Amino acid sequence: MSKYTEDDLKKELETKEYEYGFYTDIESDTFPVGLNENIVRAISHKKEEPAWMTEWRLEAFRYWQEMTEPDWANVHYKKPNFQDISYYSAPNKKPKYNSIDEVDPELLETFNKLGISLDEQKKLAGVAVDIVMDSVSVATTFKDTLAEKGIIFCSISEAIKEHPELVKKYIGTVVPQRDNFYAALNSAVFSDGSFCYIPKGVRCPMELSTYFRINQAGTGQFERTLVIADKGSYVSYLEGCTAPSRDENQLHAAVVELIALDDAEIKYSTVQNWFPGNKEGKGGVFNFVTKRGICEKNAKISWTQVETGSAVTWKYPSCILKGDNSIGEFYSIAVTNNFQQADTGTKMVHLGKNTRSTIISKGISAGKSQNSYRGLVQINPRADNARNFSQCDSLLMGNECGAHTFPYIEAKNKTAKIEHEATTSKIGEDQIFYCNQRGIDTEKAIALIVNGFSKEVLNKLPMEFAVEAQKLLEISLEGSVG
Amino acid sequence: MSLKDKLVSSYIAFEDHLEDDSPIHELRNEAIKVFETQGFPSKKEEAWKYTSLNALLKNNYSVFPKNERTIELKEVRKYFLHDIDTYKLVFVDGVYSSFLSDTTHDSLDVCLLSSALNKPKYKAVIENYFNKTAVKDSLTSLNTAFAKEGAYIHIPKHKEVEKPIEIINFSTGTEAAILLQPRNLIVVGENAHVQIIERHQSLNENQVLTNSVTEIFAEKRAFVDYYKIQNDAHTASLIDNTYVSQATQSHCRVHTFSFGGKLTRNNLNFYQNGERCDSTLNGITIIEGKQHVDHNTLVHHIAPNCESHQDYKGIFADSSTGVFNGKVYVEKEAQKLDAFQQNNNILVDDKATINSKPQLEIFADDVRCSHGCTIGQLDEDAMFYLQSRGIGKKESRALLMYAFANSVLESVKIPELKARINKLIANKIGVSLGFEL
């Protein structure tokens, strides 16, 4: 996000005002600010949910009321006022802009750098486009293929209505309502999200992505995702998008639950690039996410994440290795620049025998940002022959940023084998010199070195994502040289 | 009445008894207030997440021992490093024993904190150093409030102390349960060299809780070698708070050998205030039964071009618990730093637990910081190899354990002490190898 001047900010504010004026007249489908039981009931009612779901939400809300906001993370921000937020606004059917010329030029520049096609650019920026758009038709053919295999892939509200037995059985089993402050809040007020079920023995033929879902728009700030991989199935799921999204919601509290039954495998990849605030550290999204998966016998869950956005990130995708021989993996790149703060990592809870986990975390901090890795590896008394390997590397650029590592390692079984390694360093002057000497300018050289540093994680991303993610790293670190 | 209330109320009586005009009178009053507001640390605090003091605090400790018992030299001789000549500072139930000690004022001061606090001659040193590097947390404050006795060691400039100094705290068990709070102040002048051995020993089965605070100041180019032998009775618990403040080019090394005791908590803090400091924190922990050893270390890098090395090895048997909570904190100014932290553990039995939390907090970019932590078992191939060469299973295990701990053992610079620690390890593992490493 380079060259963000006051003029840009002014322009953005202007367009925003316009944006609001544009649709409040037509649709006043937004709830009053504040949160109480009636609001929770109303959200549930609005979404035409069955009674058990309403009760479930209310239960979560009651837990939430008794909880206090956690402050143990290594991040500092002004706590949001939860009574100052509107918890429901109907998905917006109206476009934000009438033509692409109205879109913030900086945003467009970023799109171009990422190599996003013009049609997609329009869609992402919220410009009105023709009904027949590439991705829509793709999505339709998509749906047919999936239905053939018996795969259910829809929004969670749809799933609550159409597949209540599955939702009822699994929702809240991995992240219970009272798990933590934000999970409880999410359980009470979640607006929408994705639901995915892969039947027994089915190998999902394509990468599932929220990006391709037709009714993807307006999932809102409290997203809830539930992925169930039945026995022996496989799915690769992509969340987010490399394109920057300018969401005006300041607080995002999502919950993601993964359930991998016996012999199943789930690969969950995330690219997060929400508005990180401007160069002075103003604005930006607070991203407080609870992500957790449970592995039954011989199952495998693999988390891959590229975190470049948000002003404050608080995110620990975790694996509960419940079944024997199950495997948990976590690959992460977290980049912070300017005033961004990230406290991210994972938890690997080994319960079953012969369980294995791998953690590779790469933190890159530049500008005045703070980047923390916080992880837990827990070997329980019955988890014989558990194996863990963790590696956390940090790269510092400039002496105004910070890199922190807080690993928690708890072993209660004598057969456990745990290795943890962490290093912190900066980009070597000799490395840059070498590149310069070969005619690569410093900025490109840094991009090259950062890409090399993150290679292990980038390699784990699905093909399409990997290329974009690489470019994203470059853009995120722009202007951090020197 | 809880222990906290008891301590707070006995403080008033304690203050009354003291001789007037002690220069640290104000410090004491402030300290007791800190303790009164904070109380004993609980598991809710991040630094005490894995160690609970609750069980210990239930005992009805006597704060001021009423009965006195003199001990014979032959009774305790084995606890001294008797094969070489040393300076000795011996305290029995917190009271100085002149009979067992060997102090000096000849060109260096190895004497008592109580006399340093009361004699005008030491006033300047006390004012400059006492309580200057200690963190004002609740346990250290509790010690400060009751600080009365302990070792006072002052090595002047350019003095190389020719023999080691031993600080030994005995508890005789004349009370059912006793709380001891020794306070040591060690000032090592410019270019001076010193070796110090510290030990806490309980002489019977009564409950002892020691909350000790040691402040070490290493001036320019000073060399300090500090050994802590923790091989106490299984009814004795120790909370050891050590603060090391280093000036330019000083070298400080603290070695902690934890084999005994019921609960041992080591709060070891290093502050590198000058350039080109070198800090070493080493430890070997071998425990069994229900023992609990917690190493909580901090190396605070403030100045550039420094180094720090941490190496902690642990072997945990039965249902013992080991904790390693190490932190390397690098300030923005501390560029060109080399910091290394290593923690290796072996779990011998199923009920043993390790909690390890090696942390890095880094604000400077031109640094080399790394840490490694492993938890594992003895190498089966190595075991097989040794056994195939006709070495018994027990001996093979012992040999591998020695090898595991060797990097720390090697750093012991006093041969007699090294032999002694070797023997302690042999006792602990239950095998004597018949040769010395």
With helix as H, strand as E and coil as C, how does B136-200 read? CCHHHHHHHHCCCCCEEEEECCCCECCCCEEEEEEECCCCCEEEECCEEEEEECCCCEEEEEEEE
pLDDT at position A84 over 80: no
- Do residues B257 and B392 share a domain? no
Contact between residue B356 and residue B327 where contact means Cβ atoms under 8 Å apart: no
Q: Do A424 and B347 touch (CB under 8 A)?
A: no
Q: How confident is the model at residue B428 (pLDDT cuts 50, 70, 90)?
A: confident
Cα separation, B226 vs B186, in Å, equals 11
pLDDT at position B53 over 60: yes
pLDDT at position A402 over 70: yes
Q: How confident is the model at residue A94 (pLDDT cuts 50, 70, 90)?
A: very low
Average pLDDT, chain B: 90
B336 lies in some domain: no
Q: How confident is the model at residue A274 (pLDDT cuts 50, 70, 90)?
A: confident
The parent domain of residue A123 ranges over 112-428
A440 lies in some domain: no
A73 lies in some domain: no
Residue at a domain's end among B241, B257, B274: B274
B328 lies in some domain: no
Q: Do B376 and A418 touch (CB under 8 A)?
A: yes
A60 lies in some domain: no
B329 lies in some domain: no
Cα separation, A401 vs B362, in Å, equals 8
A315 lies in some domain: yes
State the Cα angle at B29 between B28 and B31, rounded to 5°. Answer: 65
Q: CA distances (Å), B352 to each of B320, B321, B347, in order?
A: 5, 6, 6
Task: Render A397-439 in DSSP notation, one character per residue.
Answer: -STT-EEEEEEEEEE--TT-EEEEEEEEEE--HHHHHHHHHTT
Contact between residue B193 and residue B223 where contact means Cβ atoms under 8 Å apart: yes
A376 in contact with B, Cβ within 8 Å = no
B137 lies in some domain: yes
Q: Do B353 and A418 touch (CB under 8 A)?
A: no
**Nearest beta carbon to residue A415 from set B363, B368, B377:** B377
Chain B environment of A379 (Cβ under 8 Å): 375
B367 in contact with A, Cβ within 8 Å = yes
- In A, minimum Cα distance to B355 occurs at A410
B353 lies in some domain: no
What pLDDT, on the 0 to 100 scale, is given for residue A211?
53
Low-confidence winner among A208-217, A271-280, B109-118 (lowest mean pLDDT): A208-217
How near does any CA of chain A get to the CA of B165, in Å?
37
How near does any CA of chain A get to the CA of B322, in Å?
10
How near does any CA of chain B get to the CA of A326, in Å?
20
- Averaged over B257-270, what is the pLDDT? 94
Q: Which two tokens stand for residue A431?
A: 């490395």
Dihedral through CA B395, CA B397, CA B398, CA B402, nearest 10?
140
Dihedral through CA A112, CA A117, CA A118, CA A122, nearest 10?
-90
- In B, minimum Cα distance to A368 occurs at B363
Chain A environment of B358 (Cβ under 8 Å): 405, 407, 420, 422
What pLDDT, on the 0 to 100 scale, is given for residue A328?
95
Cα separation, B375 vs B313, in Å, equals 10
Dihedral through CA A165, CA A168, CA A169, CA A172, nearest 10?
160
Q: How confident is the model at residue A116 (pLDDT cuts 50, 70, 90)?
A: low
Low-confidence winner among A251-265, B355-369, B422-436 (lowest mean pLDDT): B422-436
From the list B367, B372, B403, the residue with the least C-alpha distance to B385 is B403
Q: Do B374 and A420 touch (CB under 8 A)?
A: yes
Cα separation, A282 vs A277, in Å, equals 5
**Nearest beta carbon to residue B367 from set A381, A397, A424:** A424
Cα atoms found within 13 Å of the Cα of residue A174, Cβ hemisphere only:
29
Q: Which residue has the higher pLDDT, A68 or A103?
A: A68
Instruction: Say which residues have a Cβ less than 8 Å from residue A438's Cβ, sequence separation at least 6.
Output: none
Q: Do A423 and B347 touch (CB under 8 A)?
A: no
A421 in contact with B, Cβ within 8 Å = yes
What pLDDT, on the 0 to 100 scale, is given for residue B173?
81
A426 in contact with B, Cβ within 8 Å = yes
Q: How confident is the model at residue B161 (pLDDT cuts 50, 70, 90)?
A: very high
- Averaged over B262-266, what is the pLDDT? 95
A415 in contact with B, Cβ within 8 Å = yes
Give the β-pairing of B321-330 and B292-301: parallel
B335 in contact with A, Cβ within 8 Å = yes
- In A, minimum Cα distance to B354 occurs at A411
Q: Do B375 and A411 touch (CB under 8 A)?
A: yes
- In B, minimum Cα distance to A412 occurs at B353
Cα separation, B231 vs B261, in Å, equals 6
Cα separation, A371 vs A403, in Å, equals 5
pLDDT at position A122 over 80: no
Q: Do A416 and B375 touch (CB under 8 A)?
A: yes
What pLDDT, on the 0 to 100 scale, is given for residue B281?
96
Contacts 24+ apart (CB under 8 A), A144-147: A145/A205, A145/A206, A146/A204
Look up residue B176 and give its amino acid.
A
A80 in contact with B, Cβ within 8 Å = no
End-to-end CA distance of chain B: 51
Task: Render B395-417 in DSSP notation, one character per residue.
Answer: HHHHHHHHHHHHHHHTT---HHH
Q: Do B345 and A411 touch (CB under 8 A)?
A: yes
Residue in this structure with the two tokens 């010690």, named with its chain if needed: B143
Chain A environment of B376 (Cβ under 8 Å): 416-419
**Nearest beta carbon to residue B365 from set A398, A407, A415:** A398
Q: How confident is the model at residue A220 (pLDDT cuts 50, 70, 90)?
A: low
Contact between residue B318 and residue B292 where contact means Cβ atoms under 8 Å apart: no
| Structural domains of chain A, count | 1
- Do residues B269 and B401 share a domain? no
What pLDDT, on the 0 to 100 scale, is given for residue A139?
52
The parent domain of residue B392 ranges over 380-437
A449 in contact with B, Cβ within 8 Å = no
Q: Where are the beta strands (DSSP E) in A101-169?
A: 152-155
Q: Which two tokens stand for residue A47?
A: 């979404």
A405 lies in some domain: yes
How near does any CA of chain B get to the CA of A362, in Å?
14
Q: CA distances (Å), B80 to each of B167, B196, B412, in order?
A: 10, 13, 17
Residue at a domain's end among B274, B300, B333: B274
Exposure letters B246-255 (e unless 16+ CB within 10 A, then b): bbbbbbbbbb
- In B, minimum Cα distance to A72 occurs at B46
A382 in contact with B, Cβ within 8 Å = no
- Averaged over B116-127, what is the pLDDT? 88
From the list A157, A246, A153, the residue with the least C-alpha distance to A197 is A153
What pLDDT, on the 0 to 100 scale, is given for residue B228?
95
What pLDDT, on the 0 to 100 scale, is given for residue A133?
36
Q: Do A402 and B370 touch (CB under 8 A)?
A: no
How near does any CA of chain B get to the CA of A417, in Å?
4
Rg (CA), chain A: 22
B315 lies in some domain: no
Per-residue pLDDT reduced to its tens digit, B273-326? 999 999 999 999 999 999 999 999 999 999 999 999 999 999 999 999 999 999
A74 lies in some domain: no
Residue of B365, B366, B373, B374 to mutate, interface with A, max A Cβ within 10 Å: B365
Quote the percentage of chain B above a pLDDT of 70. 97
Chain B environment of A415 (Cβ under 8 Å): 377
How near does any CA of chain B get to the CA of A437, in Å?
22
Low-confidence winner among B65-69, B129-133, B146-150 (lowest mean pLDDT): B65-69
DSSP bridge partners of A86? A33
pLDDT at position A473 over 90: no
- Averaged over A142-164, what is the pLDDT? 85
- Averaged over B128-143, what is the pLDDT? 92
**Nearest beta carbon to residue B365 from set A397, A416, A423:** A397
Assign A104 to helix, strand or coil. coil
A359 in contact with B, Cβ within 8 Å = no
B361 in contact with A, Cβ within 8 Å = yes
Q: Do B373 and A399 touch (CB under 8 A)?
A: no
- Do residues B395 and B268 share a domain? no
Low-confidence winner among A223-232, A424-433, A456-465 (lowest mean pLDDT): A456-465
Cα separation, B330 vs B333, in Å, equals 8
Cα separation, B196 vs B186, in Å, equals 10
Per-residue pLDDT reduced to its tens digit, B207-230? 999 999 999 999 999 999 999 999
Chain B environment of A416 (Cβ under 8 Å): 347, 375-376
B104 in contact with A, Cβ within 8 Å = no
Look up residue A344 and give its amino acid.
T
How near does any CA of chain A get to the CA of B431, in Å?
21
pLDDT at position A100 over 70: no
Q: Which two tokens stand for residue A293?
A: 């998966």
What pLDDT, on the 0 to 100 scale, is given for residue A379?
94
What is the ipTM score, two decimals?
0.84
Quote the percentage of chain A above a pLDDT of 90. 36
Q: Do B365 and A426 touch (CB under 8 A)?
A: yes
Low-confidence winner among A43-47, A371-375, B379-383 (lowest mean pLDDT): A43-47
Q: Do A417 and B376 touch (CB under 8 A)?
A: yes
A403 lies in some domain: yes
Residue at a domain's end among B253, B274, B295: B274
Low-confidence winner among A30-44, A98-112, A328-342, B185-199 (lowest mean pLDDT): A98-112
- Averaged over B117-134, what is the pLDDT? 89
Residue of B369, B375, B397 to mutate, interface with A, max A Cβ within 10 Å: B375
Cα separation, A186 vs A222, in Å, equals 6
| Structural domains of chain B, count | 2
Q: Which two tokens stand for residue A360?
A: 């590779």
φ and ψ of B226, to 5 deg: -125, 125
A281 in contact with B, Cβ within 8 Å = no
Residue of A412, A414, A480 to mutate, interface with B, max B Cβ within 10 Å: A414
Q: Do B369 and A424 touch (CB under 8 A)?
A: yes
From the list A378, A418, A426, A351, the residue with the least C-alpha distance to B347 is A418
- Do residues B387 and B245 share a domain? no
What pLDDT, on the 0 to 100 scale, is given for residue A302?
95
B156 lies in some domain: yes
A363 lies in some domain: yes
Cα separation, A385 vs A350, in Å, equals 10
**What is the maximum alpha-carbon separation in chain A?**
69
pLDDT at position A292 over 90: yes
What pLDDT, on the 0 to 100 scale, is given for residue A115?
57
Q: Do A408 and B366 touch (CB under 8 A)?
A: no
Per-residue pLDDT reduced to its tens digit, B323-341? 999 999 999 889 999 999 9
Assign B143 to helix, strand or coil. helix
**Nearest beta carbon to residue A414 from set B349, B361, B365:** B349
State the Cα angle at B374 between B370 and B377, rounded to 5°. Answer: 160
